[in-house]
Amino acid sequence: MPASDQQSSDSSPNRTPTPQKRRGYAPRPIIAYPKALWDEWDDPEDFASALGLHMRRHKDTGYGLRRAVCGRDDKVETTTFTAWRRGDKAPRSATSFRILAALERRWRLPPGYFRDKLHHPGRMITSEALIPLPEPERRRMAWHLPDDFALLPEAKREEILAWVKSVIITGATDYRRYQAAAMKQRFAVQFTATGTVRPGSGKYWPDDGRTRPVAAPPALDAEAADLVEFKCATLTSRGRQRAGVWGPDTADQTMEHLGLMLGALVASPDGEVEGFGVDLANITFGLLAFPTVWDWYLGWREKRRGFFTQWESEMLTLGAALCRRETGWLRQTPSLAERLTPIEGLITAADVAAAKADWDAVCDEQHRHALIRAKEIGRVSRVHRDPFEPVLPILEADSPVGEYRKITEEVLRYRPDRRRHPISAAESTRAFLMLRLGLHLGLRQKNLRQLLFKPKGWPATPERQLEALKRGELRWSARDSGWEVLIPAAAFKNAGSTYFRKNPFKLVLPDLGGLYAEIEQYIATDRAVLLRGAPDPSVFFVKTMSSRSREAAYDQNTFYEAWRVTIQRYGIYNPYTGRGAIEGLLPHGPHNVRDVLATHVLKQTGSYEQASYAIQDTPDTIAEHYGRFLPQDKAAMAAGVLNKVWAA
């Protein structure tokens, strides 16, 4: 047959192709639970060494593990196991954590064995598709979700998200829900005198409901500045008298409360705030001299919250003080009457004329009215925020301080490796020291966040200088061979208390639970890591600086939020992740530590006097505000003494 015919015959479509034999070794069969080559081993501390050890124990390879534990849709290569084993990479995705769980089942290891050995065991993974929220909120939520969140049924995912939002994010109490809703409605008038004007605050309200903060117009801002100067200046201006002086914090808080009152008057009645709708140009502090204005505001507050609290009573006391004879700022500023204009439904033209004719008479009437209303509200006011509620599981324990200590241990348990995650590790150390110093010192938030420091070997700041700064200092005491905290009495809110008698607060911290090592590590490296080259404010606790940060020192709000985040992450027991130290705990700030300390001493000693020593206060204050010493606690303490007779 010719070659051309033979070629045509071989390429005929009717010819069946001969199957080619596959080269190489046949793949090994997949064994779900391979037998270990040896049963005893020295457990490594790090993830890479542990993975390599168990791969050798079970004679596994990266290729074999990919076939055995990875699903079809898992985008995991054979080289991934090699990179993990060498320590070049670490598991970070939800898929990776599912594979780790499968490896633990395959090699019969305890659940979470590999997760606990990771450099950053607290890192959480989330998905925008599963949680359609803005990135910051999604990041906060993701910390509290289980590793297998993406694999759970939709109903279960919704259950978890609802629990996290209710218990961890908002706090689950009636007050916290009210506060979270109220904070979304930002309507206050802001003043430059106390630095409350925020970037982006417009001079005038928009027409869409008027529900965002506004900077006070020049005339109103000048009135606010005069009030702050009157109450904060070292000496009053000639011809004026006052009773009491405001400190910076008191001035900020009082002006914020007055800004809320004026903002409610300006807010649109058709918006969410349901304000009065006064034109901003007609707002003046002179309105505070009229009982009708205060009555409208009280009714607005009651409708908004549902009942009166002590807050309204304190505002009325402030209003009365402003109109008091001889010392009231409103009383001594009759020029405010010139800015008054009639406001329909609030003040009439006759009211304005009367104020211009006899300002003292108007102030007298308002002073009497405010005191009467304060007494009336005092009789019906209710407690909206139970200060003990967030920490109730701790206060009910036999050792409240020992219970709170579990949170600090949880922080260290999940602290990542400094070599791979220096910033996160530094933040964990800072959180640990915040809680530990709070438990040892019992300070108010202001004194703790403004605490200065001197490294070991540096000369301490003279007490006179600290008194002028109204701040305390953490420094090394060569005499006591320990870290000492010294705070002058002038730095405390209750500086005139019998606790101090003009003497400073001084305490040498105990070297317990690794406290000294953590302090020295924080000063030596972690603090600088958090500052990231920013100007040093000289305070012990500093924020994590970023390109958007303005200053490294904490203020009242940011320090509270830092403490609260620590409690959310490490304090509240999460049944869906198994993380968190205390079941039933709710988010709270640093002030609750004072409740914990006072209650602990009361349960141990039964003495309000000794409990007051723990938080630099008086026995009466402990009994009224801080100590939770119930009848059953008192009965149990007495029974413990009496029962010794029968045990003899």
Q: For residue 552, with 0-12 CB atoms within 10 Å meaning exposed, 13-18 middle and 19 or more buried, which class applies? A: buried
What is the pLDDT, as a whole number, of residue 129? Answer: 63
C-alpha dihedral over 449, 451, 455, 460, to 10 degrees? Answer: 170
3-state SS track over 169-184: HHCCCHHHHHHHHHHC
Tell me the CATH number of domain 47-117, given options 1.20.120, 1.10.20, 1.10.260, 3.30.70.
1.10.260
Enclosing H/E stretch for 505: strand 505-508
Please list the helix, strand and coil fractions of the chain in percent, rounded to the nearest 5, in that order: 50, 5, 45
3-state SS track over 298-349: HHHHHHHHCCCCHHHHHHHHHHHHHCCCCCCCCCCCHHHHHHCCCECCCECH
Residue whose entry in the numeric block shows the structure tokens 């000048």: 222
What is the pLDDT averaged over residues 10-31?
Answer: 62
| Nearest by Cα to 283 from 225, 224, 351 | 224
Report the C-alpha gap between 546 and 535 in whole angstroms.
12
pLDDT at 254 over 80: yes
Report the C-alpha gap between 438 and 430 in whole angstroms.
12
Q: What residues form DSSP beta bridges with 505?
A: 487
What is the pLDDT averaged over residues 431-447?
Answer: 97
Residue type, 194: T
What is the pLDDT averaged over residues 424-429?
Answer: 95
Q: Which two tokens stand for residue 308?
A: 């009166």
Note the pLDDT tens digit of each residue in 375-388.
999 999 887 777 88
What is the pLDDT averaged over residues 15-23?
Answer: 61
Lowest-confidence segment of 109-123, 359-373, 399-413 by average pLDDT = 109-123
What is the pLDDT, as a whole number, of residue 205? Answer: 41
DSSP label at residue 486: E
Model confidence band, residue 391 (pLDDT cutoffs 50, 70, 90): very high
∠94-97-102 over CA atoms, to 5°? 130
Three-state DSSP state, 485? strand
| Nearest by Cα to 453 from 522, 540, 525, 333 | 540
At 389, phi and psi to the nearest 5?
Answer: -60, -45
Report the C-alpha gap between 594 and 621 in whole angstroms.
12
What is the pLDDT, as a whole number, of residue 172? Answer: 65
Note the pLDDT tens digit of each residue in 440-487.
999 999 999 999 999 999 999 999 999 999 999 999 999 999 999 999
What is the pLDDT, as a whole number, of residue 219? Answer: 94
Instruction: List CB contacts of 141: < 8 A, sequence separation 6 or more.
Output: 126, 131, 133, 161, 164, 165, 169
pLDDT at 200 over 50: no
Report the C-alpha gap between 269 and 272 in whole angstroms.
8
Lowest-confidence segment of 101-115, 165-179, 322-336, 625-639 by average pLDDT = 165-179
pLDDT at 238 over 90: no
Alpha-helix runs per DSSP H in 332-399: 349-357, 359-380, 392-395
What is the pLDDT, as a whole number, of residue 128? Answer: 58
Higher pLDDT, 388 or 194: 388
Q: Which two tokens stand for residue 412?
A: 């260290």
What is the pLDDT, as a whole number, of residue 125? Answer: 56
pLDDT at 208 over 50: no
pLDDT at 286 over 80: yes
Model's pTM, two decimal places? Answer: 0.75
Report the C-alpha gap between 464 and 423 in whole angstroms.
36
| Nearest by Cα to 28 from 80, 65, 71 | 65
| Nearest by Cα to 600 from 587, 613, 589 | 613
Note the pLDDT tens digit of each residue in 141-189.
888 888 778 778 889 989 998 999 888 887 667 777 777 777 777 889 9
Contact 75, 66 (CB under 8 A): no
Lowest-confidence segment of 114-128, 152-166, 271-285, 495-509 by average pLDDT = 114-128
Report the C-alpha gap between 56 and 243 in whole angstroms.
80
Hey, which of 340-354, 614-628, 634-648 has the most confident mean pLDDT?
340-354
Report the C-alpha gap between 418 and 274 in whole angstroms.
52
What is the pLDDT, as a whole number, of residue 473? Answer: 98
pLDDT at 193 over 90: no
Q: What residues form DSSP beta bridges with 360?
A: none
pLDDT at 220 over 80: yes
Q: Which two tokens stand for residue 447?
A: 């004194």
What is the pLDDT averaged over residues 389-418?
Answer: 93
Lowest-confidence segment of 33-42, 177-186, 423-432 by average pLDDT = 177-186
Model confidence band, residue 140 (pLDDT cutoffs 50, 70, 90): confident
Contact 259, 189 (CB under 8 A): yes
Three-state DSSP state, 508? strand
Pairing of strands 189-190, 482-487: unpaired
Q: What residues form DSSP beta bridges with 473?
A: 452, 486
Contact 553, 563 (CB under 8 A): no
Residue whose entry in the numeric block shows the structure tokens 């051309």: 4
Lowest-confidence segment of 139-153, 406-420, 480-494 by average pLDDT = 139-153
pLDDT at 257 over 90: yes
Q: What residues form DSSP beta bridges with 476?
A: 483
3-state SS track over 5-70: HHHHHHCCCCCCCCCCCCCCCCCCCCCCCCCCCCCCCCCCCCHHHHHHHHHHHCCCCHHHHHHHHC
What is the pLDDT, as a whole number, of residue 89? Answer: 82
Contact 68, 32 (CB under 8 A): yes
Residue type, 21: K
Pairs from 22-31 (Cβ < 8 Å, separation ≥ 24): 27/67, 28/64, 30/64, 30/67, 30/68, 31/68
Contact 359, 149 (CB under 8 A): no
DSSP label at residue 461: P
What is the pLDDT, as a whole number, of residue 7? Answer: 46
Pairing of strands 473-477, 452-453: parallel
Query: What is the chain's Cα-based Rg?
Result: 33
What is the pLDDT, as a whole number, of residue 383? Answer: 77
Largest CA distance in the chain: 133
Q: Which two tokens stand for residue 647?
A: 């045990």
Note the pLDDT tens digit of each residue in 74-110.
777 888 888 888 888 888 777 788 888 889 999 999 9
pLDDT at 492 over 70: yes
Hey, which of 31-40, 358-367, 632-641 has the most confident mean pLDDT?
358-367
Higher pLDDT, 258 or 204: 258
Going from N- to C-terminal start, the domains of the chain cover: 47-117, 181-380, 389-590
What is the pLDDT, as a whole number, of residue 165? Answer: 86
pLDDT at 14 over 60: no
What is the pLDDT, as a whole number, of residue 10? Answer: 47
Give the number of residues written for the chain. 648
Three-state DSSP state, 200? coil
For the chain, the average pLDDT equals: 87
Enclosing H/E stretch for 612: helix 608-614
pLDDT at 9 over 60: no
pLDDT at 115 over 90: no
